[in-house]
Structure 1
Amino acid sequence: MQRRTILTGTALGVAGAALGLTRPAGARAGQPARGLLAVRGVTVIDAARGVRRDQTVLIRDDRILDADSAQRVPVPPGTRVVDGRGKYLIPGLADMHTHATGIDDTDPELYVVNGVTTTREMSGGAEARSWQRQVAAGERLGPRWTVGSKIIDGTPSLWEGIDTDNDLHIAVADPAQARAAVRQEHAAGAAFIKTYTRLSRTAFLAVAEECRRLGLPFLGHVPDFVELTEASDRGLRTVEHLFGIWYDTSADEQRLRRAVAAVPIGPGEYNGWFNRMHPLEYAAACTYDRRRAERVFRRVARNGTYVTPTLVLHETNDLPEQIDRHDPRNRYFSADMIGFWDWAVDNLYLPGRTPARIAESRELFRRRLSLTADLAAAGVPLMTGTDLGTSYLMPGFSLHDELALLVRAGLKPLEALGAATLNPARYLRRSDQGVVARGALADLVLLDADPLHDIRNTARIDSVVVRGRLLDRAARVHLLADIEARVKQPSATPATYRGCACHGPARAVV
């Protein structure tokens, strides 16, 4: 299949000139020119300090020089000034659960044009590492990327037959193999280790111990055979998705755990795992004990464990009948990408959806929203993530959908913004990120409307500042038009598809 490279190498220079993003001789593509940029008279909103009106934010290169009242921040002559009156400035957004799809090569630019300036890659493939290098070298526009390990799963692994080249997962049968996998990925430069669904308890504990020895974070799915509280106690840094949370909070926990352990799952049985686990997950959700849950969640919060709910993923999995296959945002994706999404929905999501199963799934998603609110109320830090790679989830665009679902779940808009800005920065141990303050990174989003009035206003973007470089309204419009035109270029070879319904990238077979 022909790849569609967006704004790399020479193409970026040509497009940059067309978009008014020219730079002085010697500067690299995608990097800010020397000089000052000021956003003046703007309302600043961040989760650390709330709302500050009539502010001037002064930027040089990739740092905020000052951010204070317009009267206290002078704007030097020659500064490029953006009129912020009537607009709202927030920190750049973070998508903390992504997977490079391997079909459209457009993710970096789509993230940035949507105000997503930080991403975390959860399956450590070559695609994301390539994007990370290109962005860091200034060869293309893109977010700051944190790239993890290959997925460490048990054996048989849900990835067998899907990741046929073994470039995205490692299956381990025992603690020795688990420790070796951690060492291998650490040596390869992984920023963290990703644990997965069918990892045995002994192998999981070995991963935890080896990561502790190496000083390497580990995070991911709570395996079927491990309690949430034990995973958190052992140092699991973030819990990805809500699947593994119900059992610790169920009044019928022990019976359900025995049932989960007895479920036979063969190699590569993604759809089988969902189908066989659904009755048990539904039973656990229906026996949710709020007092028990509060004790569990406060323990998780004390341990400093984060949760990435990925509500957009759960909505897609639980309610595939509601997927909008005619979403106008689809124009930014190739026929191959849309083809994979449709293939997955028709072959993996919809078969076997009886009226009873649909009714249960609706109730389960309603309970997931309530569960998310309970986690936040107990002090568990939440982060936004989309699980890009799942059908009809889109780089950048779906992060705004996730914010809307967090508010629908019961979070206040400022709390939802914190999940997309301040909490990811704290997770990354970056005091200079996720805030609009002196000395912070100049990753910012200028909005036309107040996100605290309506969280959906995060999608009403005027401009984006990424690494100190301004992508103004006209540049955003031109960049989106360029992406739309490029993904319409026909593939050299028609593609057929195989892949998992969620949690991982589509793989094109040509």
Structure 2
Amino acid sequence: MATTMSRRTVLAGTAAGVLGATIGAGRSEAAAGGVTAVTGVTVFDAVGGVRRGQNVLVRGDRVLDAGDLRRVPVPHGARVVDGRGKFLIPGLADMHTHATEIDPRDPELYAVNGVTTVRQMSSSDAVREWRAQIAAGARLGPQLIVGSAIVDGAPSLWEGLGVPHLAVADAAQARAAVREQAAAGADFIKTYTRLTSGSFHAIAAEADRLGIPFLGHVPDFVPVTDASDAGLRSIEHLFEFWYDTSRDERRLRREIARIKVAGGDYAGWFTGLHPIEYAAARTYDRDKAARVFERLARNGTHVTPTLTVHWTCDVPQDVPHDDPRFRYASADTLGYWQWATENIYLKGRTPRESAERRELFVRRLRLAGALARAGVPLMTGTDLGTAYLMPGFSVHDELRLLVHAGLTPAQALRAATYEPARHLGHRDRGTIARGNVADLVLLDANPLRDIGNTTQIDSVFVRGELIDPATRQRILAEIEAAVQNKPSTGAVPAAVGCACGR
């Protein structure tokens, strides 16, 4: 069983450390045992719907009470946040990330963008360190769920590329990989693209025996329905759905089986599978799709469409390179993104392929909408670590794309709040209710009228800690100054760390 377990080393001179100036900044009186009250606010969550004229009280890391302002009075001495004309929603989630470690400010950027839950989809020493710092109160950041090293087939697409992975050739190695990663403390097992059917089902059986969730990619050689029936907790990305829903499925699966990909040749897989994926998408069968989606909904299998990463990979030429949010990324990060775009996604791409991929992205949007209408639970995820995706900011892009795909703003918010909490088994997150964890976002405008209003952030509560407007702007300014003053190494990436669909 081939193993690569070193920390990601995609660029020389990776920055380290935390923003010392922001540690403890903005701690509310609630942290000292007092109460912070958001008064007269309109509350929205996926269970209670819209509730106007509400008082929400926060003490410590919990919602002390929430309800009509006549029923829930403001305690004497409470810190008051005027919520009149504003909208309070639960904290958002990014359920698919890969920290790059180039600019180690991800936790703070998530927090100031209202993202209070993050699922790291591959093993990371840095993210585990961040989690310990956050738990100790030494830095500000979201709840972090950290997965195993990527468990892939042999040869693996990540061979020799510095990304933590396990390459398994058979069922015995697959079971051993699950045991190893569970013993190492992984919160879940991450499956990947080149696993054989035998290895995948061995992972399912061993994960079930150990009581550890497994989730991730549906391998090229496993039908989506089989993966769902085997207990895959969530399906990441929208690659493999096309084959299950194609009227030409049998022939296309034979073609997939004939594709040979060398170890470490991610780019070869990405380009080699394109004609087959495109053919599958163009032979989409609505009746087959309805049966597939009904099965996923019945099994409770969540889907993380990651439309943001499909956008950056399918039509990278459309991604603006002058986005003002990129001022929070260092020169090394910007150079890294440009290198990946030129050497993975656009290298050798013909005008015909560009047109096909543009069509494919439109079809992905329709697919996400169809999944939602069929009752398949969706979750927001970005695949952070891919070119031109930003911690926290890109979750708001994902919300907009989900609405563009046909979800209502309320459904999109459910995918960013309630469904992630449900998927993680958290009964005290994802809604605004007495006793719940106080992960909250106060908005200046109504997100149900325009989902883009989730970016109109006034304040954020992260486990009861209030980031008020002044503190939020101070943190953003400190991050901007830190990355702009960071000397550029000018290094060429030594590994592919931001591949589409990781």
Contact persistence 1:123–1:504 (CA under 8 A): no
Give the Å deviation of 1:492: 7.7
Give the Å deviation of 1:94: 0.2
* Secondary structure of residue in 1 paired with 2:446: coil
Q: What per-residue deviation string (whole Å, max 9, x for no partner) do you get for residues 40-83 of structure 1?
A: 00000111111000100011001001110111101111100100
Q: What per-residue deviation string (whole Å, max 9, x for no partner) do you get for residues 146-204 of structure 1?
A: 111110000110001212xx6x1100111111101000000011111000000111000
Partner of 1:403: 399
Partner of 1:334: 330
Query: Counterparts of 1:193 and 1:93 in 2: how far apart (Å)?
Result: 23
- For residues 316-335 of structure 1, the aligned pairs below 5 Å read 316-335=312-331
Matched, 1:385 2:384: no
Matched, 1:175 2:171: yes
Give the Å deviation of 1:491: 3.4
Give the Å deviation of 1:366: 0.5
AA paired with 1:139? A
* Secondary structure of residue in 2 paired with 1:357: helix
Query: Counterparts of 2:337 and 2:165 in 1: how far apart (Å)?
Result: 22
Contact persistence 1:246–1:284 (CA under 8 A): yes
Q: What per-residue deviation string (whole Å, max 9, x for no partner) do you get for residues 356-394 of structure 1?
A: 111111110010000001111111100000000000000
Matched, 1:313 2:309: yes
Contact persistence 1:271–1:501 (CA under 8 A): no
Partner of 2:19: 7
Query: Counterparts of 2:379 and 2:40 in 1: how far apart (Å)?
Result: 30
Give the Å deviation of 1:20: 5.0
Query: Counterparts of 1:302 and 1:225 in 2: how far apart (Å)?
Result: 23
Change (3 A) 1:358 1:222: same
AA paired with 2:324? P
Give the Å deviation of 1:22: 7.8
AA paired with 1:342? Q
Contact persistence 1:242–1:368 (CA under 8 A): yes
Partner of 1:79: 78
Query: Counterparts of 2:252 and 2:409 in 1: how far apart (Å)?
Result: 36
Q: What per-residue deviation string (whole Å, max 9, x for no partner) do you get for residues 405-427 of structure 1?
A: 00000000000000000000000
Partner of 2:144: 145
Matched, 1:63 2:62: yes
Partner of 2:480: 484
Give the Å deviation of 1:124: 1.3
Contact persistence 1:6–1:486 (CA under 8 A): no
Query: Counterparts of 1:486 and 1:471 in 2: how far apart (Å)?
Result: 20
Query: Counterparts of 1:124 and 1:20 in 2: how far apart (Å)?
Result: 31
Matched, 1:358 2:350: no
Give the root-mean-square deviation of aligned CA atoms. 1.4
AA paired with 1:67? A
Query: Counterparts of 2:85 and 2:492 in 1: how far apart (Å)?
Result: 49
- For residues 347-496 of structure 1, the aligned pairs below 5 Å read 347-491=343-487, 493-496=489-492
Query: Counterparts of 2:297 and 2:107 in 1: how far apart (Å)?
Result: 32
Query: Counterparts of 1:496 and 1:263 in 2: how far apart (Å)?
Result: 30
Q: What per-residue deviation string (whole Å, max 9, x for no partner) do you get for residues 84-119 of structure 1?
A: 000000000000000010201100000000000000
Contact persistence 1:389–1:503 (CA under 8 A): no
Partner of 1:265: 261
Query: Counterparts of 1:7 and 1:103 in 2: how far apart (Å)?
Result: 14
Query: Counterparts of 1:34 and 1:54 in 2: how far apart (Å)?
Result: 25
* Secondary structure of residue in 2 paired with 1:386: coil
Partner of 1:28: none
AA paired with 2:354? I
Query: Counterparts of 1:414 and 1:22 in 2: how far apart (Å)?
Result: 30
Contact persistence 1:42–1:87 (CA under 8 A): yes
Change (3 A) 1:390 1:106: same
AA paired with 2:18? I
Query: Counterparts of 1:462 and 1:282 in 2: how far apart (Å)?
Result: 43
- For residues 22-61 of structure 1, the aligned pairs below 5 Å read 32-61=31-60
Contact persistence 2:26–2:465 (CA under 8 A): no
Change (3 A) 1:372 1:504: closer
Contact persistence 1:312–1:398 (CA under 8 A): yes
Note the residue ranges of structure 2 that are not aligned, 5 or more in a row.
Answer: 1-12
Contact persistence 1:3–1:491 (CA under 8 A): no
Query: Counterparts of 2:406 and 2:501 in 1: how far apart (Å)?
Result: 28
* Secondary structure of residue in 1 paired with 2:410: helix
Query: Counterparts of 1:501 and 1:431 in 2: how far apart (Å)?
Result: 33
Matched, 1:288 2:284: yes
Query: Counterparts of 2:219 and 2:243 in 1: how far apart (Å)?
Result: 12
Contact persistence 1:94–1:384 (CA under 8 A): yes
Partner of 1:300: 296
Query: Counterparts of 2:69 and 2:410 in 1: how far apart (Å)?
Result: 23
Contact persistence 1:62–1:468 (CA under 8 A): yes
Partner of 1:26: none
Q: TM-score, normalised by structure 2?
A: 0.95
Query: Counterparts of 2:32 and 2:171 in 1: how far apart (Å)?
Result: 51
- For residues 170-209 of structure 1, the aligned pairs below 5 Å read 170-209=166-205
Give the Å deviation of 1:12: 4.0
Contact persistence 2:46–2:410 (CA under 8 A): yes
AA paired with 1:55? Q
Q: What per-residue deviation string (whole Å, max 9, x for no partner) do you get for residues 232-256 of structure 1?
A: 0000000000001110000000000
* Secondary structure of residue in 2 paired with 1:496: coil
Partner of 2:228: 232
Give the Å deviation of 1:494: 4.0
Partner of 2:216: 220
Query: Counterparts of 2:409 and 2:469 in 1: how far apart (Å)?
Result: 24
Contact persistence 1:239–1:305 (CA under 8 A): yes
Q: How many residues align?
A: 489
Query: Counterparts of 2:95 and 2:28 in 1: how far apart (Å)?
Result: 31
AA paired with 2:496? G
Q: What per-residue deviation string (whole Å, max 9, x for no partner) do you get for residues 302-344 of structure 1?
A: 1111000000000011001111111100100111111100111
Query: Counterparts of 1:324 and 1:255 in 2: how far apart (Å)?
Result: 38
Give the Å deviation of 1:133: 1.0
Contact persistence 1:252–1:284 (CA under 8 A): yes
Change (3 A) 1:343 1:392: same
Query: Counterparts of 2:240 and 2:451 in 1: how far apart (Å)?
Result: 28
Query: Counterparts of 1:198 and 1:254 in 2: how far apart (Å)?
Result: 19
AA paired with 2:186? A
AA paired with 2:241? I
